[in-house]
Amino acid sequence: MSDPRIQATGPDATGSRRIGIFGGTFDPPHRAHLALACAARDTLALDELRWVPAGQPWQKARAITPALHREAMVREAIAGERGFVLDRCELERDGPSYMVDTVDTLRAKEPAASWVLVLGHDQWAGLHTWHRWKDLLAAVELAVANRPGTANVADAEVLGRARLTVPLPLLDISSTDIRQRVSRGEPIDRLVPPAVARYIERHHLYRKDAHSAH
Ligand code: ATP
């Protein structure tokens, strides 16, 4: 039985690159995303962390901000951060953004690398609802971070799988809350990096008159 508390200690024995995959809607990217990403990069000894904005996030029922804005905000959020790379593969693909397809694409481009899928607890708890999730888990290691307010138990079969832990304090931040705050005219400075706050302001994102977004 695998131990979910196991921590990675360095690059694997073959010397191949170890790359993290961090998928999300990033509508908008916020400080908890950055904290999670930094903790994953540093504690899992990742050579690189790929931020993968979802093209068509099939599990989100609401209207999603156009990809061009979400991509631009991720660029602003990660600028200057060591090892963080924006990956456009889901934006370039038609149809629902299934992570298993993303992993297939990334592995085909870099077959020698080892891949770690980085997730918050809410996503991990619902992993058994993902398209071809068993194929996905056969292709990557899983690394999961705490998140407040998410159910503690995943599907039994998911629970039984090995996973790494990304050490993260509980951070009560979500994109949903940020969008609501902006629409109510409340400040979001403590919740997003300054460049993302400026981007939201400049492009009139998340306001009640959302059609003005451009
Ligand atoms: P929304 O509120 O729109 O559903 P979100 O804040 O959950 O968005 P996503 O872009 O859907 O953000 O999340 C991308 C990844 O970051 C997911 O794996 C998610 O679990 C993780 N994540 C987001 N916020 C946190 C947080 N506060 N703590 C830990 N993980 C988080």
- What digits encode the pLDDT tens for the residues 128-180? 999 999 999 999 999 999 999 876 666 777 888 889 999 999 999 999 999 99
Locus of tokens 């599990």: 59
In a mutational test of the pocket of ligand 1, which residue from 31, 147, 191 has the highest number of ligand atoms less than 8 Å from its CB?
Answer: 147
**In the sheet that 114-120 helps form, which strands lie side by side, from edge to edge?**
84-86, 48-53, 18-24, 114-120, 141-145, 164-166
CA atoms within 13 A on the CB side of 173: 21
Residue 199 lies in a domain: no
Residue 131 lies in a domain: yes
- Report cis status (omega within 30 of 0) of the bond before 11: no
Tokens of 208: 């009640």
Q: Is 166 helix (H, G, I), strand (E, B) or coil?
A: strand
Of the ranges 28-37, 88-97, 125-134, 157-166, the best mean pLDDT one = 28-37
- In this structure, the residue with its CA closest to atom 6 of ligand 1 is 174
Residue 134 lies in a domain: yes
CB of residue 150 inside a 6 A radius of ligand 1: no
Cα torsion through 6, 9, 13, 17, rounded to 10: 110
Helix/strand/coil percent split, the chain, to 5: 35, 15, 50
Report the number of distinct structural domains present in the chain: 1
**Enclosing domain of residue 148:** 18-171
Residue 86 lies in a domain: yes
Residue 166 lies in a domain: yes
Q: Where residue 212 falls among pLDDT bands split at 50, 70, 90? A: very low
Cα-to-centroid distance, 18 and ligand 1 (Å): 23
Q: Is 210's pLDDT higher than 60?
A: no
The pTM score is 0.91
- In this structure, the residue with its CA closest to atom 30 of ligand 1 is 120
Please report the atom of ligand 1 found closest to the CA of residue 118.
Answer: 18
Residue 177 lies in a domain: no
State residue 209's pLDDT score.
73
CB of residue 183 inside a 6 A radius of ligand 1: no
CATH number of the domain encompassing residue 158: 3.40.50.620
Residue 6 lies in a domain: no
Residue 3 lies in a domain: no
